[in-house]
Amino acid sequence: MKSSFVVISRIVSTRRKIWPVLFSGLLLCPSICHAWDPYPQDPLRVMPALVAPPLSGGGPCPILTEQTQIDLATAVDQALCHNPQSQSAWAGIRAQAMQVGVAESAYLPTISASIQGVRNRARTTTPQYPRLGTDIANTYHVDTATLNWLLYDFGSRAAALDNARLLLQAAQGQYDQALLKIFANTARDYYQAVAAQSALAAAVENEQTAQQTLKAASGRVAGGVSAITDQLQAQTAYTQAMISRIKAEGEQHNALGVLALDMGLPVNQLRKVVALQSTAANLDQVGEAVSVLLGEAQREHPTLKAARLQRDAARARVDQVRAEGRPSINLVARASHNTQPESLGVGLSTTPARSQDRYLGIELNVPIFEGFGRTYKIRNAEAEVDLQEARLADAEQQVARDVWTSHEALRTSGLNVAATAELLRHAEAAFTASQKRYRTGVADIMELMNVQTALATARQQRIQSIADWHTAKYQLASALGKLTPVN
């Protein structure tokens, strides 16, 4: 753009007609402007300090194939890569980083240039003195360059830069908070999918058990040992088990669809996840006391870090607003070049002339009265500090509440894991014994049906307790501000 106007000014200085040149320059300007980018990507280098999105395994986003086993780490990595919340928070970091660049640019001078090409036509008529009339046509150009550099402003720029940097760190904390939310939601939905998958396997096993009971009852009825009511009751139990299996299939499809959405996949793409381990060997209770965990969360949770940084940024904003009402000192420099012709007098023609203007000075700006606007701006900034203090206190309470409830949920689910292990072992033993008693004619069909129902319930409770324990473990990690489970 500047180069095109330089070409125009040079042509004008040769006293050719300017309007065709200006017209051609305007036609050429769009192509020149597009070819030359006056705005580099990051001249002050505010972006290198940013941290790339963390993944559980590090590196770029993984690519799923048909052979990929969907475990928790894979599900979380996909969610962190593709969830809109993480992308939105990352865009917020980049936007705030640019605000840091804006604040740093206030320490640099500003330079502007103006180039004018003029075609002037002036006609003067004096009826009483015709000889004094003039008809003058001139072509000239005026070139001006101006420099303005703020030298001292009583801390306004420094406070603005502190505010921008603190908000950038707060944006990083908000990004970590978004990752924690994605992590916790994905872990919850993953173990719901795992539990639904295991529940379907248990429902299939219960259906097979009911089918075995139906065969046994049918054999006793055919042999004349039992009444037809035994067969009918066994048939009813088998049908109920079939209905439970169909319901479990629907719940599995629903849970897998929700997990697929978390991972940024089509809702019907997931077919299965890694099976839930039913062993309780590694399902230990959390070792640290809740008071220790609460203290750790108060120190390290990204939500609280971001809230504290936002409070500090609000305080810096108060200093900035106060300093903006104080005097400022600027270095001002200007240089201009003018080829406008000068007239020698009334009725005389103009003669070519060149004029130059140079000056360098110190400018002192002193705000005297702003209509009390500055006072209200300061009070508004102070109120923002109070608001951020209140939000910090609310965040501290919420984090403490989440840690407490997650800790208790983990403790309770750990006890349930041990209890359901005993429950399932006793239910299996009772069903085996009841089957033998029914086949030998010692027990009736009602006893066998009751024991069979108890076994089906024990299987479901066992699966759900293990899934709840895993979910509670990762929910506690999220409440502590971690992307790894608590040991």
Residue 146: domain span: 109-152+327-366
Query: Residue 312 falls within a domain, yes or no?
Result: yes
Does a structural domain hold residue 296?
yes
User: What is residue 346's predicted lDDT score, i.e. its pLDDT?
Assistant: 60
How many independent structural domains does the chain possess?
3
**Same domain for 26 and 169?**
no
Give the per-residue pLDDT at 256. 94
What is the model's pLDDT at position 486? 61
Residues 344, 459 share a domain: no
pLDDT digits (tens, 9 = 90+) for 135-193: 777 788 888 999 999 999 988 999 999 999 999 989 988 888 888 889 889 999 999 99
Residue 487 lies in a domain: no
Q: What is the pLDDT of residues 395-423, one digit of tens each?
A: 999 999 999 998 999 889 888 998 999 99
166 and 231 fall within a common domain: yes
Residue 35, domain member (yes or no)? yes
| 80 and 54 Cβ atoms separated by less than 8 Å | yes
pLDDT at residue 19, as a whole number: 40
91 shares its domain with 239: yes
Last residue of a domain, one of 336, 366, 396: 366
Asked whether residue 362 is assigned to any structural domain, the reply reads: yes
CA-nearest of 161, 167, 8 to 95 is 167
- pLDDT at residue number 4: 36
Residue 211 lies inside a defined structural domain of this protein: yes
Task: Give, in degrees to the nearest 5, the angle at Cα 86 between 82 and 88.
Answer: 110
Mind listing the pLDDT tens digit of every residue in the chain (487 residues)? Answer: 333 333 333 433 433 444 444 444 444 455 544 555 667 777 777 775 555 555 444 456 767 877 788 888 888 888 888 888 888 888 888 889 889 999 999 999 999 998 888 887 777 777 877 776 767 777 888 889 999 999 999 889 999 999 999 999 899 888 888 888 898 899 999 999 999 998 898 899 889 988 988 888 888 888 877 788 888 888 998 999 999 999 999 999 999 999 999 988 888 888 888 887 654 445 555 556 778 888 888 888 999 999 999 999 999 999 999 998 999 999 999 999 888 777 766 656 677 788 888 989 999 999 988 889 999 999 999 999 999 999 999 999 999 999 999 899 988 988 899 899 999 999 999 989 988 888 887 878 888 888 888 998 999 899 889 989 988 888 998 898 887 766 5
In this structure, are 440 and 352 located in the same domain?
no
69 domain-assigned: yes
pLDDT digits (tens, 9 = 90+) for 239-282: 999 999 999 999 999 999 999 999 888 888 888 888 876 544 45
Is residue 146 domain-shared with residue 55, that is, in the same domain? Answer: no
- Whether 55 and 116 share a structural domain: no
Query: Which of 347, 366, 385 finishes a domain?
Result: 366
Say whether both 354 and 472 belong to one domain. Answer: no
Is residue 448 assigned to a domain? yes
Same domain membership, residue 78 and residue 27: no
Same domain assignment for residues 188 and 292:
yes
Residue at which a domain ends, from 340, 366, 392: 366
Does residue 423 contact residue 431 with C-beta atoms inside 8 Å?
no
What's the Cα-to-Cα distance from 449 to each of 210, 211, 231, 234, rounded to whole Å?
A: 9, 12, 11, 7
Q: Are residues 421 and 299 in the same domain?
A: yes
Same domain as 66, residue 148: no
What pLDDT is attached to residue 53? 53
